[in-house]
Amino acid sequence: MAGMTSTPYFAQHDRTWRENVYVYPVISRRSGGLSIGVNLNPDKACNFDCVYCQVDRTVAPTVRQVDPRRLRDELERTIRAAVSGELFADSHFRDVPEAYRRINDIAFSGDGEPTTSPLFGEAVRMAADIRRTFNLPDLKLVLITDAAYLTKPAVRAALAVMDANNGEIWAKLDAGTEEYYQLINRPNVSLQTVLDNILDAAKVRPVVIQSLWMKVHDEPPPLAEIEAFARRLQDILRAGGQIRLVQIYTIARRTTEPFVTPLEETELQAIADHVRAATQLSVTSYA
Protein backbone atom coordinates (compact mmCIF):
# COMPACT_ATOMS: atom_id res chain seq x y z
CA MET A 1 0.00 0.00 0.00
CA ALA A 2 2.95 2.36 0.46
CA GLY A 3 3.19 4.96 -2.25
CA MET A 4 -0.30 4.36 -3.63
CA THR A 5 -1.32 6.91 -6.24
CA SER A 6 -4.31 9.05 -5.28
CA THR A 7 -7.52 8.21 -7.13
CA PRO A 8 -11.02 9.76 -7.08
CA TYR A 9 -12.50 6.97 -4.97
CA PHE A 10 -9.73 7.23 -2.35
CA ALA A 11 -10.12 11.02 -2.22
CA GLN A 12 -13.91 10.77 -1.86
CA HIS A 13 -14.43 10.76 1.92
CA ASP A 14 -17.58 12.85 2.19
CA ARG A 15 -19.59 11.98 5.29
CA THR A 16 -22.84 12.09 3.38
CA TRP A 17 -24.32 9.52 1.00
CA ARG A 18 -27.70 9.69 -0.67
CA GLU A 19 -30.27 10.65 1.98
CA ASN A 20 -28.20 9.30 4.87
CA VAL A 21 -27.43 11.52 7.86
CA TYR A 22 -25.14 9.30 9.95
CA VAL A 23 -23.79 6.48 7.74
CA TYR A 24 -21.41 6.97 4.81
CA PRO A 25 -19.46 4.48 2.64
CA VAL A 26 -15.86 5.22 1.59
CA ILE A 27 -13.11 3.31 -0.16
CA SER A 28 -10.30 3.40 2.36
CA ARG A 29 -6.60 2.93 1.59
CA ARG A 30 -5.92 1.92 5.17
CA SER A 31 -8.80 -0.57 5.22
CA GLY A 32 -7.97 -1.89 1.80
CA GLY A 33 -11.60 -1.90 0.76
CA LEU A 34 -15.04 -0.54 1.54
CA SER A 35 -15.44 1.04 4.96
CA ILE A 36 -18.92 1.90 6.24
CA GLY A 37 -18.47 5.00 8.37
CA VAL A 38 -20.71 5.82 11.33
CA ASN A 39 -20.79 9.49 12.33
CA LEU A 40 -21.87 9.78 15.96
CA ASN A 41 -20.85 13.47 16.08
CA PRO A 42 -22.98 15.27 13.47
CA ASP A 43 -22.79 18.34 15.72
CA LYS A 44 -19.05 18.51 14.84
CA ALA A 45 -18.09 18.67 18.51
CA CYS A 46 -14.65 17.24 19.29
CA ASN A 47 -12.29 17.26 22.24
CA PHE A 48 -9.30 17.73 19.90
CA ASP A 49 -8.80 20.59 17.45
CA CYS A 50 -6.21 19.04 15.14
CA VAL A 51 -4.54 21.38 12.69
CA TYR A 52 -5.00 18.81 9.91
CA CYS A 53 -8.68 18.08 10.58
CA GLN A 54 -10.81 17.90 7.43
CA VAL A 55 -14.09 18.80 9.16
CA ASP A 56 -15.27 22.25 8.10
CA ARG A 57 -16.42 23.88 11.33
CA THR A 58 -17.02 27.21 9.64
CA VAL A 59 -20.30 25.73 8.41
CA ALA A 60 -22.90 25.13 11.12
CA PRO A 61 -24.13 21.52 11.44
CA THR A 62 -27.59 20.78 10.11
CA VAL A 63 -28.06 17.85 12.54
CA ARG A 64 -27.00 17.91 16.18
CA GLN A 65 -28.51 14.74 17.63
CA VAL A 66 -28.27 11.06 16.69
CA ASP A 67 -31.57 9.25 16.19
CA PRO A 68 -30.84 5.58 17.00
CA ARG A 69 -33.71 4.26 14.87
CA ARG A 70 -32.61 6.22 11.83
CA LEU A 71 -29.00 5.21 12.46
CA ARG A 72 -29.94 1.53 12.44
CA ASP A 73 -32.02 1.92 9.28
CA GLU A 74 -29.21 3.73 7.47
CA LEU A 75 -26.64 1.15 8.53
CA GLU A 76 -28.82 -1.77 7.44
CA ARG A 77 -29.62 -0.17 4.07
CA THR A 78 -25.99 0.72 3.38
CA ILE A 79 -24.74 -2.77 4.27
CA ARG A 80 -27.49 -4.30 2.12
CA ALA A 81 -26.49 -2.08 -0.83
CA ALA A 82 -22.86 -3.11 -0.42
CA VAL A 83 -23.62 -6.83 -0.13
CA SER A 84 -25.92 -6.77 -3.18
CA GLY A 85 -23.48 -4.72 -5.26
CA GLU A 86 -25.97 -1.88 -5.67
CA LEU A 87 -23.58 0.52 -3.96
CA PHE A 88 -20.99 0.06 -6.72
CA ALA A 89 -23.44 1.35 -9.33
CA ASP A 90 -23.19 4.72 -7.59
CA SER A 91 -21.21 7.35 -9.52
CA HIS A 92 -18.66 7.63 -6.69
CA PHE A 93 -17.93 3.90 -6.66
CA ARG A 94 -18.54 2.48 -10.14
CA ASP A 95 -14.85 2.75 -11.11
CA VAL A 96 -13.56 1.02 -7.97
CA PRO A 97 -11.45 -2.03 -8.91
CA GLU A 98 -12.81 -5.44 -7.94
CA ALA A 99 -10.07 -5.91 -5.34
CA TYR A 100 -11.44 -2.98 -3.33
CA ARG A 101 -15.10 -3.98 -3.50
CA ARG A 102 -14.92 -6.11 -0.38
CA ILE A 103 -16.71 -4.82 2.73
CA ASN A 104 -13.90 -4.47 5.23
CA ASP A 105 -15.44 -2.76 8.24
CA ILE A 106 -17.99 -0.66 10.02
CA ALA A 107 -15.90 2.24 11.31
CA PHE A 108 -16.88 4.55 14.14
CA SER A 109 -15.42 7.80 12.91
CA GLY A 110 -16.93 11.05 11.67
CA ASP A 111 -16.99 14.71 12.64
CA GLY A 112 -15.72 14.27 16.20
CA GLU A 113 -14.46 11.73 18.73
CA PRO A 114 -16.88 8.74 18.68
CA THR A 115 -16.34 7.81 22.33
CA THR A 116 -17.71 11.18 23.48
CA SER A 117 -21.15 10.21 22.16
CA PRO A 118 -23.57 8.90 24.80
CA LEU A 119 -24.81 6.53 22.09
CA PHE A 120 -21.39 4.97 21.39
CA GLY A 121 -22.12 1.75 23.28
CA GLU A 122 -25.58 1.40 21.75
CA ALA A 123 -24.16 2.00 18.28
CA VAL A 124 -21.49 -0.68 18.78
CA ARG A 125 -24.10 -3.22 19.87
CA MET A 126 -26.27 -2.22 16.91
CA ALA A 127 -23.39 -2.77 14.48
CA ALA A 128 -22.60 -6.14 16.06
CA ASP A 129 -26.22 -7.21 15.65
CA ILE A 130 -26.35 -6.09 12.01
CA ARG A 131 -23.06 -7.89 11.33
CA ARG A 132 -24.67 -11.12 12.55
CA THR A 133 -27.93 -10.45 10.67
CA PHE A 134 -26.08 -10.20 7.36
CA ASN A 135 -23.80 -13.13 8.25
CA LEU A 136 -20.55 -11.23 7.72
CA PRO A 137 -18.08 -12.97 10.06
CA ASP A 138 -15.05 -11.28 8.46
CA LEU A 139 -16.49 -7.77 8.82
CA LYS A 140 -14.54 -5.73 11.36
CA LEU A 141 -15.88 -3.21 13.84
CA VAL A 142 -13.29 -0.43 13.91
CA LEU A 143 -13.03 2.43 16.39
CA ILE A 144 -10.99 5.37 15.08
CA THR A 145 -10.20 7.33 18.23
CA ASP A 146 -8.00 9.99 19.78
CA ALA A 147 -7.75 7.64 22.80
CA ALA A 148 -8.71 10.33 25.32
CA TYR A 149 -11.60 8.32 26.81
CA LEU A 150 -10.70 4.65 26.32
CA THR A 151 -10.72 3.99 30.08
CA LYS A 152 -14.25 5.29 30.72
CA PRO A 153 -16.39 2.38 32.03
CA ALA A 154 -19.02 2.76 29.29
CA VAL A 155 -16.33 2.82 26.61
CA ARG A 156 -14.58 -0.22 28.08
CA ALA A 157 -17.90 -2.09 27.99
CA ALA A 158 -18.36 -1.15 24.32
CA LEU A 159 -14.82 -2.27 23.53
CA ALA A 160 -15.61 -5.67 25.03
CA VAL A 161 -18.51 -5.98 22.58
CA MET A 162 -16.15 -5.05 19.77
CA ASP A 163 -13.68 -7.69 20.94
CA ALA A 164 -16.39 -10.33 20.56
CA ASN A 165 -17.22 -9.10 17.04
CA ASN A 166 -13.89 -8.88 15.21
CA GLY A 167 -13.21 -5.45 16.67
CA GLU A 168 -10.16 -3.28 16.25
CA ILE A 169 -9.00 -0.03 17.87
CA TRP A 170 -7.17 2.48 15.69
CA ALA A 171 -5.65 4.87 18.21
CA LYS A 172 -4.33 8.26 17.15
CA LEU A 173 -0.76 9.10 18.15
CA ASP A 174 0.74 11.94 16.14
CA ALA A 175 3.63 13.00 18.37
CA GLY A 176 6.39 11.87 20.67
CA THR A 177 6.69 15.01 22.80
CA GLU A 178 4.13 17.09 24.65
CA GLU A 179 5.20 20.25 22.80
CA TYR A 180 4.61 18.78 19.32
CA TYR A 181 1.41 17.07 20.47
CA GLN A 182 0.01 20.41 21.65
CA LEU A 183 1.02 22.02 18.33
CA ILE A 184 -0.58 19.36 16.12
CA ASN A 185 -3.58 18.06 18.08
CA ARG A 186 -4.55 21.05 20.27
CA PRO A 187 -6.15 18.60 22.73
CA ASN A 188 -8.04 18.71 26.01
CA VAL A 189 -5.87 16.04 27.66
CA SER A 190 -2.14 15.52 28.02
CA LEU A 191 -0.02 13.26 25.83
CA GLN A 192 0.64 11.09 28.88
CA THR A 193 -3.11 10.55 29.32
CA VAL A 194 -3.36 9.36 25.71
CA LEU A 195 -0.35 7.07 26.15
CA ASP A 196 -1.74 5.61 29.39
CA ASN A 197 -5.11 5.00 27.71
CA ILE A 198 -3.53 3.32 24.69
CA LEU A 199 -1.53 1.08 27.00
CA ASP A 200 -4.65 0.22 28.99
CA ALA A 201 -6.45 -0.88 25.82
CA ALA A 202 -3.38 -2.57 24.32
CA LYS A 203 -2.93 -4.79 27.36
CA VAL A 204 -6.32 -6.35 26.55
CA ARG A 205 -6.03 -6.67 22.76
CA PRO A 206 -3.61 -5.66 19.97
CA VAL A 207 -4.22 -2.11 18.75
CA VAL A 208 -3.41 -0.23 15.58
CA ILE A 209 -1.57 3.07 15.94
CA GLN A 210 -2.56 5.68 13.35
CA SER A 211 -0.07 8.49 13.00
CA LEU A 212 -0.37 11.47 10.65
CA TRP A 213 2.76 13.42 9.78
CA MET A 214 2.95 16.65 7.80
CA LYS A 215 4.90 19.78 7.06
CA VAL A 216 4.24 22.70 9.39
CA HIS A 217 5.05 26.04 7.81
CA ASP A 218 6.85 24.10 5.06
CA GLU A 219 9.03 22.25 7.57
CA PRO A 220 8.86 18.43 7.94
CA PRO A 221 8.82 16.97 11.45
CA PRO A 222 12.24 17.08 13.10
CA LEU A 223 14.13 13.82 13.47
CA ALA A 224 14.10 14.26 17.26
CA GLU A 225 10.29 14.15 17.19
CA ILE A 226 10.23 10.96 15.14
CA GLU A 227 12.75 9.38 17.52
CA ALA A 228 10.59 10.41 20.50
CA PHE A 229 7.53 8.91 18.79
CA ALA A 230 9.35 5.60 18.34
CA ARG A 231 10.36 5.63 22.01
CA ARG A 232 6.72 6.10 23.02
CA LEU A 233 5.81 2.98 21.07
CA GLN A 234 8.69 1.09 22.69
CA ASP A 235 7.44 2.20 26.13
CA ILE A 236 3.98 0.74 25.35
CA LEU A 237 5.53 -2.56 24.28
CA ARG A 238 7.80 -2.77 27.32
CA ALA A 239 4.82 -2.16 29.62
CA GLY A 240 2.92 -5.11 28.15
CA GLY A 241 0.92 -3.39 25.41
CA GLN A 242 0.29 -5.09 22.08
CA ILE A 243 0.61 -3.14 18.82
CA ARG A 244 -0.55 -4.98 15.71
CA LEU A 245 0.35 -2.30 13.19
CA VAL A 246 1.56 1.28 12.90
CA GLN A 247 0.00 3.33 10.09
CA ILE A 248 2.14 6.25 8.95
CA TYR A 249 0.32 8.60 6.60
CA THR A 250 0.03 12.24 5.56
CA ILE A 251 -2.57 14.82 4.60
CA ALA A 252 -4.86 13.80 1.74
CA ARG A 253 -7.60 16.43 1.82
CA ARG A 254 -8.29 20.06 2.74
CA THR A 255 -7.23 20.90 6.29
CA THR A 256 -8.40 23.23 9.05
CA GLU A 257 -5.13 25.19 9.01
CA PRO A 258 -3.48 26.27 5.75
CA PHE A 259 0.01 26.17 7.27
CA VAL A 260 0.04 22.35 7.26
CA THR A 261 0.78 20.55 3.99
CA PRO A 262 1.47 16.95 2.93
CA LEU A 263 4.85 15.28 3.12
CA GLU A 264 6.47 13.92 0.00
CA GLU A 265 6.30 10.16 -0.42
CA THR A 266 10.03 9.82 0.22
CA GLU A 267 9.76 11.83 3.45
CA LEU A 268 6.88 9.68 4.67
CA GLN A 269 8.71 6.48 3.80
CA ALA A 270 11.77 7.68 5.72
CA ILE A 271 9.62 8.14 8.84
CA ALA A 272 8.12 4.67 8.41
CA ASP A 273 11.57 3.13 7.92
CA HIS A 274 12.89 4.83 11.05
CA VAL A 275 9.95 3.71 13.21
CA ARG A 276 10.15 0.17 11.83
CA ALA A 277 13.88 -0.09 12.55
CA ALA A 278 13.57 1.39 16.03
CA THR A 279 10.59 -0.70 17.19
CA GLN A 280 10.64 -3.86 15.03
CA LEU A 281 6.90 -3.35 14.58
CA SER A 282 4.90 -3.82 11.41
CA VAL A 283 4.72 -0.34 9.84
CA THR A 284 2.80 0.69 6.72
CA SER A 285 2.93 4.08 5.03
CA TYR A 286 0.26 5.75 2.89
CA ALA A 287 1.32 8.72 0.76
**pLDDT tens for each residue of 203-225:** 999 999 999 999 999 999 999 99
Q: Which amino acid is at 103?
A: I
> How far is it, in rounded angstroms, from Cα 230 to Cα 279?
7
Length of the chain equals: 287
Sheet containing strand 167-172, edge to edge, reads 23-28, 33-39, 103-109, 140-145, 167-172, 207-212, 243-249, 283-286
**If residue 163 lies in a helix (H) or strand (E), which one and from where to where?**
helix 153-163
Going by DSSP bridges, is the β-strand pair 260-261/103-109 parallel, antiparallel, or unpaired? Answer: unpaired
Fold classification of 8-286 is TIM Barrel (3.20.20)
Instruction: Indicate the burial class of 227 (C-beta count within 10 angstroms; 0-12, 13-18, 19 or more).
Output: middle
pLDDT number for residue 183 = 98
What DSSP designation does 253 have? S
Give 100's pLDDT tier (boundaries 50, 70, 90).
confident
* Statement: residue 128 has pLDDT above 90: yes
DSSP bridge pairs for 25: 36
Rounded to whole angstroms, how far apart are CA atoms 220 and 234? Answer: 23
Output the pTM of the full model: 0.91
- Judged against a pLDDT cut of 60, whether residue 195 lies above it is answered with yes
| Secondary structure class of 142 (helix, strand, coil) | strand
Whether residue 6 is predicted with pLDDT greater than 70 in this model: the reply is no
**Close Cβ partners of 45 (under 8 Å, ≥ 6 residues apart):** 112, 116
Query: Is the pLDDT reported for residue 2 higher than 50?
Result: no
Percentage of residues in the chain having pLDDT higher than 90: 80
- Predicted pLDDT of residue 236: 98
Domain boundaries, the chain: 8-286
pLDDT band at 106 (very low <50, low <70, confident <90, very high): very high
Rounded to 5 degrees, φ, ψ at 205 are -155, 155
Q: In angstroms, rounded to a whole number, what is the distance separating the alpha carbons of residues 76 and 41?
A: 19
